[in-house]
Amino acid sequence: MFSYCTDPAALSGLTWLSCYLTTGKHMALYWSFGTVLTLLAITAPTALALGFAGASAARSRIRPLSWLGKFYIAIVRGVPDIAFFLFFVIALDQGIEYLRHKVKCPDWSEPIRQGNDFVVCSAAKMPLSTASQWQHDVYGFALAVVTFAIVFGAFAANVLFGAMRAVPHAQIETAEAYGMSPRQAYWRVLVPQMWIYALPGLGNLWMVLIKATPLLFLLGISDIVYWARELGGAKTARFTDYPHPDWRMWYFLALLVFYLGFTKLSEMVLERLTRRLSHGQATAGGEALRKAAT
Amino acid sequence: MSCWQTIQDYGLRALGHGERLLPRSDFTLCQQFTLIGSGLMWNIYFGVLALLAGFILANALAVAKGANHPLLRKPAEWFIFIFRGSPLFIQFFFGYFLFLSLKGVSPVFTPFTSAALGALVVLFFNTAAYSAEIFYGALRSVPKGDIEAADAYGFSGWTRFRRIVWPTAMRLAWPAYTNEAIFLFHATVLVFFSGFPAWQQKGDALYYASYFADKTFNPFIPYPILAGYFILLTLLIIGVFGLINRHLNRHLPQDSRPRLRFRPNLIR
């Protein structure tokens, strides 16, 4: 990186550290923080949308739809989430390949499950075996995002379902007394008011989502945990210009500090958001804001 | 090979007894049920011990966090923040590598590099921090009238805490603490997926479930088995904690007793 880094063996102290921390592999580590943030940025809205759909379905007056919504919320309870992560990644992958197999190779006669193997025709492989490395990476990441969204969507659905029930019933009755249809009352009265009730739960969920991101490692993504393990391990002079003993402890300490800082930052942002959303609401927080204003 | 034979071979496999080699081909349902169930013993071991030890530390931490003196309050606040603010997965990794480094300093730390002790320590601190936050909230919401009544009866200091404040706080905290216990048991599946090695393939339930999923490339059998076991375990925890809850609230009339509600469990 720097011009003085040409002969690392001759360096010492801070200059050595500055060269060591800017090697190509360390750059990959810093980029993997970007992977984590990308995952959060995509998963959070997707999970919220899925959760909204799930909660709306659970509230629906059509019985099968309401059962479907309640089943979705209930299925993620009671089972360790890591099991879901491990399960969904394989199951989604096999499901996609199975569907592609049915479409692309209709005249394939052999069974797909042969003993311990899952065999589909080569045209149905996902991604194709001719695809380049980055396509494999993107596909793996997309599977991870979908898995996260499904699991966290169920949590969000549970929170939103509770929030929808927390909106005072009189509000809906008033809306109906003004002649709104159930659909109008839902979109114009219930949905705008439910967010303040949902915010504590959603804020909690966001914290949990942040803390779930290292599980990307279990889904086979080269994320920060992967790189911390890789870079921290003891290196001898034969394989690298920067030999060092086992430093994995320090790498994981750095990750720990990163997550603590991120959590603290989120807490502060959520605090401000709560104040904003409390404006004009019939809650204790909203009442306090009203009193302060007059 | 009959199923009874399989149970004899693999029933205690997670503890290192019975057949040494894991099944490699022609996996039967019986083998999957037996091995995953055998691994569940580790989850119960981690969960029960961490919960019991964590309960004591959590009470101390909750009282310390509620203390006026900053020398007591600050360390407790930091302990709780560090363990609640970072992912358990990273804590496991950090704990393992920390013990590995300490092992070089003193052989006292050698047993801590095994999952049985090292992971237990991490889980113990983690659950203590989470429960301490629950107990701290409960201690703060003890009704003012209860404390005034205690004062009026001449209770003070330690007696007031032990006879009035603490039992009331436990009563208030118990439903939330039940959920914490369920979380904890679910969190135990992370142990063998973080740094801690599974010596001689002695692993927990998820370790064996993912072993089968890898070998058969079929996730649709081992993971539902695992899910079934965990639902049973969760029901058992709810049952036991429900009994304690009933005992805690035995002075209340039948219909005003708070009921335990099963809340969704989240990853930490």
Average pLDDT over every residue of A29-57: 89
pLDDT score for A216 = 83
What is the helix (H) or strand (E) element at residue B244, kind and residue range? helix B222-248
Residue A78 is predicted with a pLDDT of 62
pLDDT given at position A139? 86
User: For residue A216, which residues of chain B lie inside 8 Å, CB to CB?
Assistant: none
Residue B8 contacts A where some CB pair is shorter than 8 Å? no
Instruction: With respect to residue B11, please indicate whether it lies within any of the assigned structural domains.
Output: no
Q: How many domains does chain B have?
A: 1
**Contact A211/B190, CB-based, under 8 Å?**
no
Q: In the prediction, which pLDDT does B266 show?
A: 47
Q: Which residues of chain B have pLDDT under 50?
A: 264-268
**Longest C-alpha distance within chain A, in Å?**
83
Residue B228's domain spans which residues? Answer: 28-256
CB spacing of B81 vs A260 below 8 angstroms: yes
Name every chain A residue with its beta carbon within 8 A of the beta carbon of B87: 210-214, 259
Do the domain assignments include residue B85?
Answer: yes
Question: What is the C-alpha separation between B233 and B227, in angstroms, rounded?
Answer: 10
Q: Residue B209: what residue type? A: A
Query: What's the rounded mean pLDDT across residues A27-47?
Result: 88
In a domain, B22, yes or no: no
Give strand pairing partners of A113. Answer: A118
Residue with tokens 């592999």: A25
pTM exceeding 0.95: no
| Contacts B78 to A, Cβ<8 Å | none
pLDDT of amino acid B170: 92
According to the model, what pLDDT value does residue B256 have?
63
Question: Is residue A151 within 8 Å of residue A80, measured between CB atoms?
Answer: no
Task: List the 193-212 stretch of B: residues with Cβ below 8 A of A.
Answer: 193, 206, 209-210
Interface ipTM above 0.95: no
Residue A208: what pLDDT?
A: 84
Note the pLDDT of residue B264.
Answer: 47
* Backbone CA torsion sign across B58, B61, B65, B66: positive
What pLDDT shows up at residue B268?
47
User: The CATH number of the domain where B77 resides is what?
Assistant: 1.10.3720.10
Task: Please write the tens of the pLDDT for every residue from A75-124.
Answer: 666 677 778 888 888 888 888 888 888 887 777 777 777 666 677 777 77
- Residue B166 belongs to a domain: yes
Per-domain boundaries in chain A: 3-293
Is B77 part of a structural domain of the chain?
Answer: yes
Question: 């208030």: which residue's tokens?
Answer: B172
Indicate whether A1 pLDDT > 80. Answer: no
Determine the residue among B99, B223, B234 to mutate to test chain A binding: the one whose Cβ has the most chain A Cβ atoms within 10 Å: B223
Question: Chain B interface, mutation test: which of A71, A72, A82, most B Cβ atoms within 10 Å?
Answer: A82
Determine, yes or no, domain membership for B2.
no
CATH class of A3-293: mainly alpha
Q: Shortest Cα distance from A174 to chain B (angstroms)? A: 32
Mean pLDDT of A12-20: 78
* pLDDT exceeds 70 at position A11: yes
Of B81, B90, B264, the CB nearest to A255: B90
pLDDT tens by residue, A162-211: 888 888 888 888 999 999 988 888 888 888 888 888 888 888 888 888 88
Rounded Cα distance, A221 and B107, in Å: 36
